[in-house]
Chain A
Amino acid sequence: MTEATDVKTKPPKKKKRWYSPGKIILYLFVLIIVAGAGLFFRIPQKIGLVKGPAEQLFTITPDSEKAAVVMADLQAAGLNTQGVEVYVLPVSGTDDNVAMVVLDASKGFNFNSSGSADPVKDFLTVAAKAQQQGINRAAVAYYDENGKPLATATLPTDAAVAYSQGKLTDRQLMEKVDVGTDNLWAFISMIREQLK
């Protein structure tokens, strides 16, 4: 017997596989988290990988003549237009136009001094008239006192026309209205601020 036979050799280390079931689940989990965070923070849009619907449709030069008509209609409806801007955006590849009415609190807009008993009804009157300008959708975008966009409401102008003709009830009209935001946290912050 030699001494060498007594030396215990270490068992070979098990090579770690990257594809063990546990690791695959972990990788998938991380991937889902990263993808979710990317979507949540709109990373693909921010780095230009994905174009949002607005960036796809609103590439054409805004129609300042139609915007001036809509602005005049807002004034004629008795609305205080301080801090109000109007952009009529032609829709790429169609004859459609979307009128965006910006209510910017950082430039002096204030609902309390809008000069209207019912700003929604006044807006509907203007939206119905705007259809004569080839505008088939109207939207109102509200900007806060820091000039940040908070929320947007939109409806097709034919719904406004139907409402003005008494063909739609208040409820039916509201079914046609969509509301949204691109800046949820700013919106929540605004509410928190207001509630202080």
Chain B
Amino acid sequence: MRRTILILFIFIIALLPFLSACDSSDVQELINWAKLWAIVHDITNEDGQPNFGTITRFTVGEAFGVGSTGDKEGDAAIDSARVLNDIRQAENEADQGWEALYKGQNIKESVLPHYDQAINLRPDDWSYRNERGIAQLENLDNPDNAKAAKADFDKATALAKKSGKPAEYLRMLKNREQAMARMVAHDNDINAYPTKDMYLEQSRTYDELYKLTNDKTYLLLKQQADTNLQEGHYWQRDTGK
């Protein structure tokens, strides 16, 4: 058992008297489950008396983090604090980046730094590469924006393929497609045009999704993006269209 006994020792001995004073029935139920857990794991006996032998035996394992649940995923779930922290921070950064993009703030100064930070925290997460790539597509101030976007999308693709799961690649493409669709819809809502690069990437992504899934919806969406391109319903650098 990993890091359990000492905690439960503390929990049962110290926390329960406090919690027992709570009126809430859901907390009482929680206490009952915790008591049962402690009995089952030999931390206390049926009368609630602590088993110091068990506690002592496992305290060292808890303190030095050398114990195990006997299951890799169980260990990972219990040790997930740092990973969860990174995920939560990265999500927060990405949300701020997306919000700044929606508000039309300067992409280089107010959008990209958030995604850079998210990617720094979660380098193997393709979703932040997709979103930063989309921000790049919208960044007409950068003459190399399409190149920068492609680098992000290529990396996202490589990360998804690295997992070795075809479903992961499909999930990544759908994430990119949905994020681009949200951006285009937002541009339309504020009576602005998406960029030409955005429609080009949409067309490519829908095409790939159609090939992978044979879902005709994607074919129709690709045709729509192509029509927008043909009819010039987009912003382009220096044209001011």
Flag whether A75 is at the interface (Cβ < 8 A).
Answer: no
B124 touches A60 (CB 8 A): yes
Assuming the contacts A61-B126, A180-B3, A184-B6, asked whether A116 and B14 have C-beta atoms less than 8 A apart, the reply is no
Taking CB atoms and an 8 Å cut-off, the chain B residues in 73-92 that contact chain A are 73-85, 87-88
A179 touches B7 (CB 8 A): yes
> Among A9-17, A19-27, A168-176, which stretch is in contact with chain B?
A168-176
Cα distance A184–B73 when bound, in Å? 21
Taking CB atoms and an 8 Å cut-off, the chain B residues in 109-164 that contact chain A are 124-127, 159-160, 163-164
Assuming the contacts A91-B73, A118-B26, A178-B2, asked whether A36 and B64 have C-beta atoms less than 8 A apart, the reply is yes
A57 touches B25 (CB 8 A): no
Flag whether B10 is at the interface (Cβ < 8 A).
Answer: yes
Flag whether A59 is at the interface (Cβ < 8 A).
Answer: yes
A117 touches B29 (CB 8 A): yes
Assuming the contacts A60-B163, A180-B78, asked whether A187 and B10 have C-beta atoms less than 8 A apart, the reply is yes
B77 touches A112 (CB 8 A): no
Cα distance A85–B92 when bound, in Å? 12
Interface of A is mostly: mixed
What distance in Å separates the Cβ of B220 from its nearest Cβ neighbour in chain A? 22
Closest Cβ neighbor of A116 among chain B residues: B26
A112 touches B26 (CB 8 A): yes
A53 touches B79 (CB 8 A): yes
Closest Cβ neighbor of B1 among chain A residues: A178
Contacts of A114 in B (CB 8 A): 26
Contacts of B80 in A (CB 8 A): 54, 58, 89, 100, 139, 141, 152, 182
Offer 5 A-B interface pairs, CB within 8 angstroms, sorted by A. A53-B79, A102-B88, A112-B27, A171-B39, A182-B80
- Chain B residues proximal to chain A, CB less than 8 Å: 1-4, 6-8, 10-11, 14-15, 18, 22, 24-27, 29-30, 33, 36-37, 39-41, 62-66, 69, 71-85, 87-88, 124-127, 159-160, 163-165, 168, 171-172, 175
6 interchain residue pairs of minimum CB distance: A180-B78, A182-B81, A180-B3, A154-B77, A139-B77, A53-B76
